A and B are shown apart, each in its own frame.
Chain A
Amino acid sequence: MITEALTFFTPDTQESEGAFFFDTGISCGFPSPAADFKQERISLDRELIKNKEATFFAKVSGQSMIGAGLDDNDLLVIDRSIAPSDNKIAVCFLDGEFTVKRLRVTKDGVWLQPENSDYHPIKITTENNFVIWGIVTNVIKKL
């Protein structure tokens, strides 16, 4: 009896990945006139997410920022890699709660500015438990 084990390689029948099949060039008939002008299809991910390791999504609850176009249930794209500065819209963690407001950095200190006349600006003091969590880069609305 043959004791040596033989090694057999069975072809992998699973769908192939990673290789492209070009069907222009060699085949008969007319090559596609678009082949030389091929571009990647538009991608919202690529457009809205500049830094994917630092990007998070969140949902708006309430209308305190309605003037800036942020409505209840809108989707926020938040980029944590952007440095906070005056006039940016930021997601902040203030005294136990997440909130989205416009940052106002003045000589007197930092304010969180709502964009709705029913709400008042909040002045950040040393008493507050306050962190700027990330900067809002885009709002996505469902119609």
Chain B
Amino acid sequence: MFALVDCNNFYASCERVFQPQFRNTPIAILSNNDGCVIARSDEAKKIGIPMGAPAFKYKAFFKEHNIKVFSSNYPLYGDMSSRVMNILKQFSPDIEVYSIDEAFLELNIFEKENLDKLGHEMRNRILQWTGLPTCVGIAPTKSLSKVANKIARKFPKETGGTFVIDSENKRLKALKWTKIKDVWGIGSRLQKRLIQQNIKTAYDFTQLPDVWVKNNFSVTELNLKKDLEGMITFTLEENHPVKKSIATTRSFENTYTDIKDIKERVATFANSCAEKLRIQNSNCNIIIVLLQGDRFDKNSNPYKNSITVTLPHTTNSSLTITKYATKAIEQLYKKGINYKRAGVIVTGLVPTDNHQLDMFARENPKHRPLMQAIDQLNKKYGDHKLKLANQDLDKTWKMRQEYLSKQYTTQFNQILIIK
């Protein structure tokens, strides 16, 4: 049996653990740099704040509806997440951390009463130890455990936050209740095609002939169908592969028109990508650079463009990646536009120690020891004391975090104060 444990409104719930006065207040969490809404409490969802709502446009709305706004506090969320995951490991050593706030567990218990009891035990332990509410769905397969979880979340009073699919009857009932858009792994494009075929629920989907699903979609959808039918086709992925691409994209604090300013930002983003590559011991061979105008500037058409650069060799050198990223910006840049956002994405990742030998094009062998030295110095002296010459030395990248709560669990000088 599989269990899916999902924290309810995770970011908002983390804030509430340390500021219980907001237990019943609608909460909205903003993205990095306070750009837009990325998480909401149930109350905020009810009032009708959409995901992705731009913060500055909703300022009056927040105030009018007494919505408590927070900047995202990832050090706090990350620590609370690792507490939850470690507690879950006490219930089963077979765990797949699926995201910051949800995990799949494989359970070796088959007695029905025990499963329901186990689900409640998980919930209660996590709630008591960390203060975070969760929902638990237990079922014979991963995709069914997702369905069960959704039911637990939707009917808290009836289920007590735990729902087990342990009979054919329950499985069918659950699938009939589940809308096709809520099925795990069915994306928006697939959704549209299925709805055109009058496939409205997960149950309808499982009634399609195997051959038809395989021919019209792909083997992935066929696997999903079987998993929903109760045949295990998805297993736990315990070791998530290293990231396939790394991105640093940010909105600027102000809009920029001068290419010099934009180049400096892009060099900083490129450098940050290179650092992340070195941390996970990867090289990249493709760099994508994005540049966007201010989408709220009514006087100009929102400019949005990107360039993909294929490198002559794989690298994780800040010097090389920055060089190509700034070259790309020279081509993307047009005069007379208010730019608001840029980004660097590195992809085509390979392990650092596994170069394909190219006789003619190779990373300058001096770069590797140089990068190691830079990383060590920055680690020792903290916060990017050592920068590349095309980065602004005076500029420290400051995220706008107007509504930031404290890092209660990771910084000694920010712990709770109690009278």
Contact = CB atoms under 8 A, between A and B. Distances in A.
A61 B354 contact: no
B158 interface: no
| Chain B interface helix/strand/loop/mixed | mixed
A60 B418 contact: yes
A87 to B, nearest CB: 19
Contact of A8 (B21, B357, B409): B357
A34 interface: no
A76 B417 CA distance: 10
A57 B419 contact: no
A84 to B, nearest CB: 10
A81 B419 contact: no
B357 A61 contact: no
B390 interface: no
A80 B355 contact: no
A99 B418 contact: yes
Given A6-B356, A8-B357, A53-B86, A58 B415 contact: yes
B129 interface: yes
A60 B417 CA distance: 6
A66 interface: no
B353 A12 contact: yes
A77 to B, nearest CB: 11
A51 interface: yes
A139 B129 CA distance: 20
Contact of A80 (B129, B356, B412, B415): B129
B87 interface: yes
A91 B419 CA distance: 9
A7 interface: yes
Interface of B: 20-21, 83, 86-87, 125, 128-131, 353-357, 408-409, 412, 415-419
Given A53-B83, A54-B128, A80-B129, 9 more contacts: A5-B356, A53-B130, A54-B130, A61-B418, A80-B128, A80-B130, A91-B416, A99-B418, A100-B419
Interface of A: 5-10, 12, 51-54, 56-62, 64, 76, 80-81, 91, 93, 96-100, 131, 133
23 contacts: A7-B356, A8-B354, A8-B355, A9-B354, A12-B353, A51-B129, A52-B86, A53-B130, A54-B83, A56-B416, A57-B416, A58-B415, A58-B418, A59-B415, A59-B416, A59-B417, A60-B417, A61-B417, A61-B418, A80-B131, A99-B418, A131-B20, A133-B131
